[in-house]
């Protein structure tokens, strides 16, 4: 017995140590790294993917170790993997909402919502291993429902993979969509019966649709402001066409009603109202910009389907009516006849840096518009939603011009510092996408002939 013991003791220490490290019971877990992070804007839909290099098949000892964010651990593993199973392996940890998405591989582990910061900064780490971390700064984590953050710091389409090798990709569209393609047709001369049509096939996620309407005075006073839904036709149709009987009149004296189709899901949450001319989300006066009518309780504008591109206003616009919102003034419809019996028309010509006004009298040779006034500044970027201050070219003029696009109609508002409370509003329709002439002089003056 003593002789056998002496043989064992004669084994070199380095050889004994090597034999122990080669056994699965002593396998490690230090080679796992945080490979990919994904989240929606709410933090309810998230996944984390760990990855082990192909050269490390025995990184199996996971029991009792955690994955953490800067706020602490959000998942602790129980149990370990089978020997030889971790080379080029993936571990997928996802929220329950992520697991329910079409195209999502089955997560190996479920984690709570907001396991890591949506807004950033944050650092995600496997156990105590500093080489495993994936960090990001403020607003650096994609939340568009498509892209993820992949090690070392790459943004691209998400590609979750679980331990079984199942891969996939998800696309998150939250909330009902905007409602594209709204058109209307008067069915009687009084305008009390109107047929509305809209597209229900292009965008998914809507359960019902509503029509909301308001006066001119219910439009926002500036881009980004709130629309007041004065009237509503609730649960109008699910097929994209309806007739609104007894449409309320334009009762504020401006002779204008505006309409908007809004979608709603089964939870009574409204979708996007689409973008205004400045590219901002249209919003109502209810919770999170909802209309506050038709039993809506909230709005989720995360589904961008149907919003469409921000339109340009470069071109020629004909004034169809104008209104001086001051005192007892009433709307004026154009074209109109002057006291001398001459027909009078009015146009605006808009480029990115120039705003021209023109008038045309029927007696003018060839009918080409005569120049009325010019505003120009090379620093301007005139688009729908722009506000330009004429003080930038004429000191102490005090005129501010606002451009607002409502459907196919451009509304131009002029406000004057020397006449507070009074606004000239011009409603126009587009007649051309280009200007009157190919070359516009570089003007910096205003010459009002009226």
Which one is predicted more confidently, 13 or 246? 246
Predicted local confidence at residue 82, as pLDDT: 92
Q: What is the per-residue pLDDT across 92-119, written as a single tens digit (0 to 9) for each?
A: 999 988 888 878 999 999 999 999 999 9
Classify residue 15: in a domain, yes or no.
no
Predicted local confidence at residue 338, as pLDDT: 64
Classify residue 75: in a domain, yes or no.
yes
Q: Is the pLDDT at 293 greater than 70, yes or no?
A: yes
Which one is predicted more confidently, 362 or 217? 217
Mean pLDDT of 422-448: 57
Percent of the chain at pLDDT exceeding 70: 74
Whether residue 228 sits in one domain with residue 108:
no
Q: Going by C-beta distance under 8 Å and a sequence separation of 6 or more, which residues neighbour residue 223?
A: 276, 277, 278, 280, 385, 387, 402, 404
- The residue count of the chain comes to 450
Classify residue 228: in a domain, yes or no.
yes
Classify residue 447: in a domain, yes or no.
no
Predicted local confidence at residue 395, as pLDDT: 46
Whether residue 101 sits in one domain with residue 148:
yes
Whether residue 292 sits in one domain with residue 266:
yes
Predicted local confidence at residue 375, as pLDDT: 59
Whether residue 400 sits in one domain with residue 346:
yes
Whether residue 124 sits in one domain with residue 231:
no
Which one is predicted more confidently, 13 or 144? 144
Mean pLDDT of the chain: 78
Q: Is the pLDDT at 442 greater than 50, yes or no?
A: no
Predicted local confidence at residue 18, as pLDDT: 32
Whether residue 425 sits in one domain with residue 320:
yes
Specify the CATH number for the domain of residue 199.
2.60.40
Whether residue 196 sits in one domain with residue 125:
no
Whether residue 144 sits in one domain with residue 111:
yes
Mean pLDDT of 186-209: 87
Confidence band for 11, pLDDT divided at 50, 70 and 90: very low
Least confident of 23-27, 175-179, 407-411: 23-27
Q: What is the per-residue pLDDT across 355-387, written as a single tens digit (0 to 9) for each?
A: 777 766 554 444 445 555 555 555 566 766 666
Count of domains forming the chain:
3
Mean pLDDT of 343-365: 67
Q: Is the pLDDT at 416 greater than 90, yes or no?
A: no
Whether residue 327 sits in one domain with residue 295:
no
Whether residue 63 sits in one domain with residue 118:
yes
Nearest-10 Cα torsion for 293, 294, 298, 300 = -110
Q: What is the pTM of this model?
A: 0.43
Percent of the chain at pLDDT exceeding 90: 36
Mean pLDDT of 289-310: 83
For residue 407, give its domain range. Answer: 315-432
Q: Which of 157, 174, 205 is the last residue of a domain?
A: 157
Classify residue 54: in a domain, yes or no.
yes
Q: Is the pLDDT at 327 greater than 60, yes or no?
A: no
Classify residue 449: in a domain, yes or no.
no
Which one is predicted more confidently, 80 or 203? 80
Omega into 121 within 30° of 0, i.e. cis? yes
Lookup: tokens for 62: 């996971």
Whether residue 148 sits in one domain with residue 38:
yes
Confidence band for 280, pLDDT divided at 50, 70 and 90: confident
Whether residue 44 sits in one domain with residue 124:
yes
Classify residue 45: in a domain, yes or no.
yes
Strand 257-264 relative to strand 208-215, pairing: antiparallel
Predicted local confidence at residue 127, as pLDDT: 94
Least confident of 149-153, 261-265, 333-337: 333-337
Predicted local confidence at residue 418, as pLDDT: 72
Classify residue 114: in a domain, yes or no.
yes
Q: Is the pLDDT at 244 greater than 80, yes or no?
A: yes
Confidence band for 236, pLDDT divided at 50, 70 and 90: confident
Backbone angles phi, psi at 367, to 5 degrees: 70, 10
């Amino acid at each position: 017995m003593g002789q056998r013991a002496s043989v064992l003791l004669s084994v070199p220490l380095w050889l004994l140590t090597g034999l122990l490290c080669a056994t699965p019971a002593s396998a490690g877990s230090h080679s796992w790294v945080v490979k990919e992070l994904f989240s929606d804007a709410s933090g309810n839909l998230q996944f984390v993917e760990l990855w082990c290099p192909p050269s490390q098949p025995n990184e199996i000892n996971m029991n009792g170790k955690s994955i953490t964010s800067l706020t602490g651990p959000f998942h602790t593993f129980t149990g370990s993997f089978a020997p030889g199973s971790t080379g080029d392996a993936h571990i997928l940890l996802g929220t329950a909402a992520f697991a329910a998405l079409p195209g999502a591989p089955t997560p190996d582990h479920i984690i709570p919502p907001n396991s890591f910061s949506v807004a950033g900064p944050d650092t995600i780490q496997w156990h105590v291993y500093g080489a495993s971390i994936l960090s990001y700064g403020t607003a650096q984590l994609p939340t568009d429902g498509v892209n993820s953050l992949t090690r070392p710091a790459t943004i691209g389409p998400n590609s979750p993979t679980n331990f079984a090798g199942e891969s996939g990709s998800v696309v998150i569209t939250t909330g009902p969509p905007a409602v594209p393609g709204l058109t209307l047709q008067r069915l009687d001369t009084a305008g009390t019966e109107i047929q509305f049509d809209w597209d229900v096939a292009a965008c998914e996620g809507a359960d019902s649709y509503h029509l909301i309407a308001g006066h001119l005075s219910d439009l926002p006073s500036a881009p980004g402001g709130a629309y007041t839904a004065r009237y509503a036709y609730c649960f109008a149709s699910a097929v994209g066409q309806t007739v609104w009987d007894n449409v309320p009149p334009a009762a504020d004296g401006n002779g204008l009603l505006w309409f908007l189709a809004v979608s709603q899901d089964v939870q009574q949450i409204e979708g996007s109202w689409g973008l205004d001319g400045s590219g901002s989300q249209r919003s109502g006066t209810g919770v999170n910009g909802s209309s506050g009518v038709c039993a809506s309780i909230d709005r989720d504008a995360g589904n961008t389907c149907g919003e469409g591109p921000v339109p340009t206003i470069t071109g020629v616009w004909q004034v169809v009516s104008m209104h001086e919102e001051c005192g007892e003034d009433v709307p004026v419809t154009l074209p109109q006849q002057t006291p001398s019996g001459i027909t009078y028309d009015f146009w605006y010509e808009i480029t990115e840096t120039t705003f021209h006004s023109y008038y045309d009298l029927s007696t003018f040779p060839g009918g080409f518009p005569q120049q009325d006034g010019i505003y120009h500044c090379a620093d301007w970027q005139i688009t729908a939603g722009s506000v330009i201050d004429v003080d930038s070219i004429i000191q102490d003029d005090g005129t501010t011009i606002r451009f607002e696009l409502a459907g196919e109609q451009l509304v131009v508002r002029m406000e004057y510092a020397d006449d507070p409370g009074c606004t000239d509003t011009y409603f126009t329709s587009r007649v051309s996408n280009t200007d009157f002439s190919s070359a516009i002089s570089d003007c910096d003056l205003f010459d009002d002939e009226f």
